[in-house]
Structure 1
Amino acid sequence: MRLVKAFLVVAAVALCCASSAFAESTYDKVMKAKVLRAGIMTNSIPGAFYNEKKEWVGFDVDIAEEVAKRLGVKLERVQVSDMTRISFVQQGRIDMSVANMTHKRERDKSIDFSITYFFDGQKLLVKKDSGIKDWKDIVAQNKKIASTKGTTSEVNARNKLKQLGDKNADQNVISFPDYAAAFQALKNGRVAGFTTDSTILLGYAAQASGQFELVGDFISDEPYGIGLPENDSKWRDAINFALQDMWADGTYKKIYDKWYGPDTPYYFPLTAKIEMWP
């Protein structure tokens, strides 16, 4: 009996090893299906959103389309949110998440990331003539600010207020399910400020030109990475190579200027360079 059990254990281990050895990488699956499933936001202006014509457009949309083009496959867009973008990668529902996601060590425990493909930082959006010119004014006036659930911005905001001496920081940062809801809270006066990555704030401010302004210093660096399945180096390399090639031949700059250039409502100067490998 013991011999049989031992044999079964060895057989199980061998089968497991064999399955791992022959497991397809995400790259192989994508190339076989000729379809790349990308998780993309729908309310992150101008990263990814629906325009007046109900077209799904934006910087992240164009980046995802260009990556698929370079791999020679069709892009399938899958709607994700701040709350679902990581779990969708983990569950295999998408092959990559191009969703203005800051690459954090904590998140790296759950999924892998590409090289940084976008560089941003967190700021504060307020109504013009509100009397608020800095984060310190929020604390001095005991005001509330809006952020979004499940984001680094939410954590950063609370930490910033605590650093400035706000004993009610946890209550004074109100978390909303998405950017649109947070911006609406600012518009209707429920909060005095809305904080997240500055380019997202610029996108929403552009909807009501001249009524809102960014104030205060950046309180964080927000390096965006494309979220990828864990421990899948072949796929990660393919995405990284595509991004680097886009930078090298000027395609990245064209996409960037289309959405963040000086002739757009979302002007945000490019201040850093994508990591390039020889």
Structure 2
Amino acid sequence: MRSFKIMVLVAAMLTMAAASAVAGPTYDRVMQNKVIRAGITNQGIPFGFINDSNEWVGFDMDMAKEIAKRLGCKLEPTVVNNNTRISFLQTDPPKVDMVLSNMTHKRIRDEKIDFSITYFFDGQKFLAPKGKVTDPKQFANMKIGSMQGTTSIINVENYLKKLGNPNPKVIGYEGEVAMFEALRSGRVQAISTDSTLLLGYAAKVPGKYELVGDFISDEPYGIGLPQDDSAWRDAVNFAVQDIWKDGTYKTIYNKWFGPDSDYPFPLTEKIEMWP
């Protein structure tokens, strides 16, 4: 009889452990504390940046606030950059619960962290001084700036090799500010990363720079999440879908990328919706 009770107790403990594993530590902590720690860039105009009023704003900031609101939580933003946005999700415990930092969902990144469904659709282009580049083939023999720790720099190198330069001159910069300053100072002749980021920095000096050529890659942005917490991933996905469903997404999108915004960029895709 005693052994039977022990077996029942062990089975109950295993069931509880399994349930806890399904829920996951991030989901449990967020639901208990009602606080979401979100990693967001402060240099990625117009996704996350410091405006002229010294306020931390942007599309990603607004989306993070809305996700927190839908989950009944307070938002605590944390600054991340291209070198920390993944590592902050990998620490034990993670330093942040989610990352919205114009991060393309790539298979190689999915080996390290999890991602939400795509919440923004972009592509990579080149930005050059207005009128200086009439044919994208000219980029092959130019010095190009891009971003350290991103797929952008890999895409640029591969693209320039396809144009015929086996040893392209591509310089990686730690952040968007440094990359754009390299272009303004003439240290590079063009820069390349996601087109919306290029639009954001070009808008700081209207009429001086322009996007050149077609997209050289597709860049579907996902919200970075700690690995193997399906309950938390579902909660974020459901929140994003609800934000789209009731029209809030388009309100936020038009604020930053609509035809009357400083960074007009037409919305051409739809967020994946589950019945």
Q: Same-fold call, TM > 0.5?
A: yes
In the alignment, the residues of structure 2 paired with residue 248 and residue 25 of structure 1 have an alpha-carbon distance, to the nearest angstrom, of 28
Task: Give the corresponding residue for 2:3.
Answer: none
- DSSP 3-state at the match of 2:76: strand
Return the offset for 1:134: 3.4
Which runs of structure 2 are paired with 1:46-125 in the superposition (5 Å)? Answer: 46-91=46-91, 92-125=94-127
Task: Give the corresponding residue for 1:149.
Answer: 148
Return the offset for 1:43: 0.4
In the alignment, the residues of structure 1 paired with residue 18 and residue 173 of structure 2 have an alpha-carbon distance, to the nearest angstrom, of 41
In the alignment, the residues of structure 2 paired with residue 16 and residue 193 of structure 1 have an alpha-carbon distance, to the nearest angstrom, of 58
Contact 1:116 1:223 in 2 (8 A): yes
Return the offset for 1:210: 0.3
Task: Give the corresponding residue for 2:10.
Answer: none
1:186 aligns with 2:189: no
- Partner deviation per Cα, 1:75-122 (whole Å, 9 max, x = no partner): 000000011000001110000001100000000000000000000000
Contact 1:82 1:150 in 2 (8 A): yes
Task: Give the corresponding residue for 1:11.
Answer: none
- DSSP 3-state at the match of 1:168: coil
- Supply the AA of the counterpart residue of 2:266: P
In the alignment, the residues of structure 1 paired with residue 20 and residue 268 of structure 2 have an alpha-carbon distance, to the nearest angstrom, of 43
Give TM-score scaled by structure 2 length: 0.91
Task: Give the corresponding residue for 1:250.
Answer: 247
- Supply the AA of the counterpart residue of 2:130: K
1:177 aligns with 2:166: no
Task: Give the corresponding residue for 2:9.
Answer: none
Return the offset for 1:20: 6.4
1:207 aligns with 2:208: no
User: After TM superposition, where is structure 1 displaced by more than 6 Å over at least 4 residues in a row?
Assistant: 15-18
- Partner deviation per Cα, 1:168-202 (whole Å, 9 max, x = no partner): 21xx1100111110100100111110100000000
- Partner deviation per Cα, 1:5-53 (whole Å, 9 max, x = no partner): xxxxxxxxxx999766545431221011111000000000001000001
Task: Give the corresponding residue for 2:161.
Answer: 162
Task: Give the corresponding residue for 1:7.
Answer: none
- DSSP 3-state at the match of 1:218: strand
- Supply the AA of the counterpart residue of 1:120: D
In the alignment, the residues of structure 2 paired with residue 190 and residue 57 of structure 1 have an alpha-carbon distance, to the nearest angstrom, of 29
In the alignment, the residues of structure 1 paired with residue 137 and residue 187 of structure 2 have an alpha-carbon distance, to the nearest angstrom, of 19
Q: 1:216 aligns with which of 213, 218, 221?
A: 213
Return the offset for 1:144: 0.4
Contact 1:147 1:174 in 2 (8 A): yes
In the alignment, the residues of structure 2 paired with residue 119 and residue 256 of structure 1 have an alpha-carbon distance, to the nearest angstrom, of 11
- Supply the AA of the counterpart residue of 1:102: T
Contact 1:25 1:234 in 2 (8 A): no
Task: Give the corresponding residue for 2:45.
Answer: 45
In the alignment, the residues of structure 2 paired with residue 134 and residue 276 of structure 1 have an alpha-carbon distance, to the nearest angstrom, of 39
In the alignment, the residues of structure 2 paired with residue 56 and residue 269 of structure 1 have an alpha-carbon distance, to the nearest angstrom, of 24
Task: Give the corresponding residue for 1:6.
Answer: none
In the alignment, the residues of structure 2 paired with residue 17 and residue 146 of structure 1 have an alpha-carbon distance, to the nearest angstrom, of 54
- DSSP 3-state at the match of 1:217: strand
- DSSP 3-state at the match of 2:105: coil
Shift in alpha-carbon separation, 1:20–1:87, aligned structure 2, 3 A: farther
Specify every segment of 5 or more residues in structure 1 that has no aligned partner in the other structure, as ranges.
1-14
Return the offset for 1:68: 0.1
Identity among equivalent positions (%) equals 60
Return the offset for 1:223: 0.1
